[in-house]
Amino acid sequence: MENRFRGSVFMQTKMKRNKKNIKVLVFSGYGLNCEEETAHAFERAGGKADIVHINDVIDGMKKMSDYDILAFPGGFAYGDDTGSGKAYGNRMRNHLWKPLMQFIESGKLVIGICNGFQILSQIGILPGAVTFNESNRYIDRWVDLKAEGKSPWLSGIETLSVPIAHGEGRYIAPKKVLDDLKKNKQVAFRYYKGETSTYQNLPANPNGATENIAGVLAYDGRVFGMMPHPDRNLFSVQRPDWPLQKERAKRAGKKLPFDSDGLQIFKNGITYFG
Amino acid sequence: MATRIDVTPTIPDARAHLKLKTFREIGGTKVKAVHIADSYLIDTDLPKAGLDKARSSLSNPLVEESTVARQLPKKFDWAIEIGFLPGVTDNVGTTAKETIEDATGKKFKEGEHVYSAVVFFIDGKISREVAEKIAGTLHNPLIQKAVVYSANELKKIKNKPPVVPKVKLSASSKVLEVNLEVSDAELEEIGKKGIKDSHGNYRGPLALELDFMTAIRDHFRRLRRNPTDIELEALAQTWSEHCKHTIFANPIDEMSEGIYKGYIKKATEEIRRNKGKQDFCVSVFKDNSGGIVFDEEYVVTHKVETHNSPSALDPFGGAITGVVGVNRDALGFGLGAKPVANVYGFCFAPSEDTRKLYRDSAMKNEMLPAKRIAEGVIKGINAGGNQSGIPTPHGFMLFDEAYRGKPLVFAGTVGLIPKKNGTRKLYEKKAKVGDYIVMVGGRVGLDGIHGATFSSESIDAGSPATSVQIGDPITQKKFSDAIAKEARDLNLFSSITDMGAGGLSGSVGEMSRESNGASVDLEKVPLKYPGLEPWQIWISESQERMLLSVPKGKWKELSELMKRRAVEVTVIGEFTNSGRCEVSYNGKTVMDLDLDFLHDGLPKRAQYTREPNYRGTAVYELSIHEPNKKELTEYVLKMIGSHNIASNDFLAKQYDHEVQSGSVIKPVQGAGRVTGDASVFRPLLTSKRAVVLSSALFPHYANLDPYASAAAALDTAVRNAVAAGASLNHLAILDNFCWTDSYNPERLWQLKEAARACYEYATLYGTPFISGKDSMFNDFKGYDAKGEAIQISALPTLLISSIGVMQDAEKAVSIDAKIAGDLVYVLGHTENELGGSEYFRMRNETQGAVPQTHGAKNLKLYAGLEKAIQQELVASAISVGRGGLAVAFMKTAMAGKMGMSVDITKSVKDVGRSDLALFSESQGRLVVTVAPKDKERFEKLFKGQSFEKVGTIGGTAISMKAGSASVQVSVEDALTAYTKRFKNW
Residues B166 and B111 sit within 8 Å (Cβ to Cβ): yes
Pairwise CA distance, residues B176 & B226, whole Å = 10
Residues A64 and A101 sit within 8 Å (Cβ to Cβ): no
Alpha helices in B616-744 (DSSP H): 629-640, 649-654, 699-702, 706-724
* Pairing of β B769-775 and β B731-738: parallel
Task: Please write the tens of the pLDDT for every residue from A90-128.
Answer: 999 999 999 999 999 999 999 999 999 999 999 999 999
Is residue A7 situated within a structural domain?
A: no
Is residue A8 situated within a structural domain?
A: no
Considering only residues 162 to 221 of chain A, which have any Cβ-Cβ distance to chain B shorter than 8 Å?
163, 165, 167, 170, 172-174, 199-201, 208
B648 touches chain A (CB under 8 A): no
Q: Is the pLDDT of residue B14 over 90?
A: no
pLDDT at B466 (0 to 100): 52
Residues B115 and A81 sit within 8 Å (Cβ to Cβ): no
Nearest CB to A131: which of B63, B659, B809?
B63
Q: Which among B114, B138, B125 has a CA at the least distance from the CA of B16?
A: B138
**Total domains in the fold of chain A:** 1
pLDDT at B623 (0 to 100): 86
Q: Which of A44-53, B79-88, B938-947 has the lowest mean pLDDT?
A: B79-88
Pairwise CA distance, residues B118 & B121, whole Å = 10
Q: Is the pLDDT of residue A1 over 50?
A: no
Phi first, then psi, for residue B43 (nearest 5°) are -95, 65
Residues A19 and A47 sit within 8 Å (Cβ to Cβ): yes
Helix (H) or strand (E) holding B496: strand B495-498
Q: What is the DSSP letter of A23?
A: E
Pairwise CA distance, residues B366 & B393, whole Å = 35
As a whole number, mean pLDDT of residues B286-301 equals: 97
Q: Which among B45, B69, B68 has a CA at the least distance from the CA of B57?
A: B68
A245 touches chain B (CB under 8 A): no
The residues pairing with B196 across neighbouring beta strands, listed in sequence order, are B202
Residue type for position B64? E
* Pairing of β A223-226 and β A109-113: parallel
Q: Which of A262-266, B37-41, B109-113, B230-234 has the lowest mean pLDDT?
A: B109-113
Task: Please write the tens of the pLDDT for every residue from B338-351.
Answer: 999 999 999 999 99
Tell me how close the Cα of A264 comes to any Cα of chain B, in angstroms: 16
Q: Which of A3-7, B495-499, B837-841 has the lowest mean pLDDT?
A: A3-7
Pairwise CA distance, residues B504 & B517, whole Å = 14
Q: What is the distance between the terminal CA atoms of chain A, rounded to a whole angstrom?
A: 31
As a whole number, mean pLDDT of residues B408-433 equals: 97
Pairwise CA distance, residues A97 & A77, whole Å = 18
A261 touches chain B (CB under 8 A): no
Pairwise CA distance, residues A105 & A109, whole Å = 10
Pairwise CA distance, residues B371 & B778, whole Å = 19
pLDDT at B470 (0 to 100): 78
Tell me how close the Cα of A124 comes to any Cα of chain B, in angstroms: 10
Question: Residue A82 and residue B103: Cβ atoms within 8 Å?
Answer: no
Considering only residues 931 to 970 of chain B, which have any Cβ-Cβ distance to chain A shorter than 8 Å?
931
Q: Which residue would you say has higher pLDDT here, A10 or B87?
A: B87
Nearest CA in chain B to A255: B810
Is residue A261 situated within a structural domain?
A: yes
* Pairing of β B114-123 and β B33-42: antiparallel
Nearest CB to B818: which of A80, A95, A244?
A244
C-alpha distance from residue B509 to each of A88, B516, B575 (Å)? 38, 10, 11
Question: Residue A129 and residue B658: Cβ atoms within 8 Å?
Answer: no
Is residue A2 situated within a structural domain?
A: no
C-alpha distance from residue B124 to each of B75, B151, B650 (Å)? 9, 11, 32
Pairwise CA distance, residues A10 & B563, whole Å = 41
Question: Residue A238 and residue B94: Cβ atoms within 8 Å?
Answer: no
* Pairing of β A213-218 and β A187-191: antiparallel
Residue A218's domain comprises 13-271
CB burial string B800-811: b at 16+ within 10 A, e below: bbbbbbbeebbb
Q: What is the DSSP letter of B464?
A: P
Name which of A1, A247, A248 to mutate to probe chain B: the one with the most chain B Cβ atoms within 10 A of its Cβ: A247
Q: For the domain that residue A217 is a member of, what is the CATH number?
A: 3.40.50.880
Q: Which among B252, B260, B330, B321 has a CA at the least distance from the CA of B289?
A: B330
Residues A129 and A159 sit within 8 Å (Cβ to Cβ): no
pLDDT at B614 (0 to 100): 67
CB burial string B358-377: b at 16+ within 10 A, e below: bbeeebeeebbbbbebbbbb
Nearest CB to A165: which of B566, B656, B669?
B656
Residues A229 and A75 sit within 8 Å (Cβ to Cβ): no
Considering only residues 659 to 688 of chain B, which have any Cβ-Cβ distance to chain A shorter than 8 Å?
659-666, 669-673, 682, 685-686
The residues pairing with A141 across neighbouring beta strands, listed in sequence order, are A164
What order do you get walking across the sheet with A109-113 strand by strand? A48-53, A23-28, A69-72, A109-113, A223-226, A213-218, A187-191, A139-147, A159-166
The domains located in chain B, with CATH, are 3-157 (3.30.1280.10), 813-985 (3.90.650.10)
Q: Is the pLDDT of residue B590 over 70?
A: yes
Pairwise CA distance, residues B148 & B136, whole Å = 10
Residues B103 and A82 sit within 8 Å (Cβ to Cβ): no
pLDDT at B452 (0 to 100): 32
Task: Please write the tens of the pLDDT for every residue from B80-90.
Answer: 999 998 888 89
Q: Is the pLDDT of residue A248 over 80?
A: yes
Pairwise CA distance, residues B657 & A167, whole Å = 14
pLDDT at B1 (0 to 100): 77
Task: Please write the tens of the pLDDT for every residue from B724-775.
Answer: 999 999 999 999 999 999 999 999 999 999 999 999 999 999 999 999 999 9
Tell me how close the Cα of B956 comes to any Cα of chain A, in angstroms: 16
Alpha helices in B607-689 (DSSP H): 629-640, 649-654
A144 touches chain B (CB under 8 A): no
pLDDT at A2 (0 to 100): 42
Cβ neighbors of B628 (< 8 A, separation 6 or more) are none
Nearest CB to B659: which of A34, A137, A250?
A34
As a whole number, mean pLDDT of residues B214-222 equals: 97
Helix (H) or strand (E) holding A246: helix A242-251
pLDDT at B446 (0 to 100): 85
Question: Residue B565 and residue A28: Cβ atoms within 8 Å?
Answer: no
Helix (H) or strand (E) holding B929: strand B926-930
Task: Please write the tens of the pLDDT for every residue from A132-152.
Answer: 999 999 999 999 999 999 999
Residue A5 banded pLDDT, cuts 50, 70, 90:
low
Considering only residues 814 to 853 of chain B, which have any Cβ-Cβ distance to chain A shorter than 8 Å?
814, 816, 818-819
Name which of A52, A78, A126 to mutate to probe chain B: the one with the most chain B Cβ atoms within 10 A of its Cβ: A78
Pairwise CA distance, residues B927 & B902, whole Å = 11
Q: What is the DSSP letter of B262?
A: I
* Pairing of β B518-521 and β B580-585: parallel
Question: Residue A28 and residue B64: Cβ atoms within 8 Å?
Answer: no
pLDDT at B100 (0 to 100): 95
Cα-to-chain-centroid distance, residue B758: 22
Question: Residue B685 and residue A82: Cβ atoms within 8 Å?
Answer: no
Residues A208 and A132 sit within 8 Å (Cβ to Cβ): no
pLDDT at B240 (0 to 100): 87
Cα-to-chain-centroid distance, residue B580: 34
| DSSP for B43-85, written as a single string | -S---HHHHHHHHHHT--TTTEEEESS----SS-SEEEEEEEP
Is residue A6 situated within a structural domain?
A: no
Pairwise CA distance, residues B521 & A191, whole Å = 59
Given phi > 0 = left and psi -120 to 50 = alpha, else beta, which region is A85? Answer: left
pLDDT at B619 (0 to 100): 61
Q: Is the pLDDT of residue A13 over 60?
A: no
Name which of A26, A76, A161, A197 to mutate to probe chain B: the one with the most chain B Cβ atoms within 10 A of its Cβ: A76
Q: Is the pLDDT of residue A255 over 90?
A: yes
Question: Residue A29 and residue B565: Cβ atoms within 8 Å?
Answer: yes
pLDDT at B454 (0 to 100): 35
Nearest CB to B387: which of A31, A40, A83?
A31
Q: Say what percent of chain A tops pLDDT 70.
A: 93
Given phi > 0 = left and psi -120 to 50 = alpha, else beta, which region is B336? Answer: left
Task: Please write the tens of the pLDDT for every residue from B538-553.
Answer: 999 888 999 999 999 9
Most distant CA pair in chain A: distance in Å?
Answer: 58
Nearest CB to A82: which of B14, B92, B819?
B92
CB-count burial class (<10 Å; 0-12, 13-18, 19+) for A254: exposed
Q: What is the distance between the terminal CA atoms of chain B, rounded to a whole angstrom?
A: 43
Residues B669 and B895 sit within 8 Å (Cβ to Cβ): yes
Question: Residue B99 and residue A90: Cβ atoms within 8 Å?
Answer: yes
- Neighbouring CB atoms inside 10 A of B74's CB total 7
The residues pairing with B930 across neighbouring beta strands, listed in sequence order, are B823
Q: Is the ipTM of this complex over 0.90?
A: yes
Mean pLDDT for chain B overall:
93
Residues B392 and B327 sit within 8 Å (Cβ to Cβ): no
Q: Is the pLDDT of residue B153 over 70?
A: yes
Residues A202 and B672 sit within 8 Å (Cβ to Cβ): no
Q: Is the pLDDT of residue A268 over 60?
A: yes
Task: Please write the tens of the pLDDT for every residue from B322-368.
Answer: 999 999 999 999 999 999 999 999 999 999 999 999 988 889 888 88
Residue A9 banded pLDDT, cuts 50, 70, 90:
very low
Name which of B15, B19, B36, B60 to mutate to probe chain A: the one with the most chain A Cβ atoms within 10 A of its Cβ: B60
Residue A262 banded pLDDT, cuts 50, 70, 90:
very high
Question: Residue A243 and residue B816: Cβ atoms within 8 Å?
Answer: yes
Q: Say what percent of chain B tops pLDDT 90.
A: 83
Nearest CA in chain B to A34: B660
Q: Which among A251, A233, A162 has a CA at the least distance from the CA of B818?
A: A251
Residue A12 banded pLDDT, cuts 50, 70, 90:
very low
Pairwise CA distance, residues B292 & B822, whole Å = 37
pLDDT at B616 (0 to 100): 56
Task: Please write the tens of the pLDDT for every residue from A187-240.
Answer: 999 999 999 999 999 999 999 999 999 999 999 999 999 999 999 999 999 999
Task: Please write the tens of the pLDDT for every residue from B177-217.
Answer: 999 999 999 999 999 889 988 788 888 888 899 999 999 99
* Residues, chain B: 985
B565 touches chain A (CB under 8 A): yes
Is residue A5 situated within a structural domain?
A: no
Residue type for position B658? E
Pairwise CA distance, residues B227 & A150, whole Å = 76
Q: Which residue would you say has higher pLDDT here, A2 or B146?
A: B146
Nearest CA in chain A to B118: A82
Is residue A152 situated within a structural domain?
A: yes
Q: What is the DSSP letter of B983?
A: T
As a whole number, mean pLDDT of residues B861-874 equals: 98
- Which residues in chain B have Cβ-Cβ distances shorter than 8 Å to A131? 9, 11, 14, 63
Tell me how close the Cα of B120 comes to any Cα of chain A, in angstroms: 16
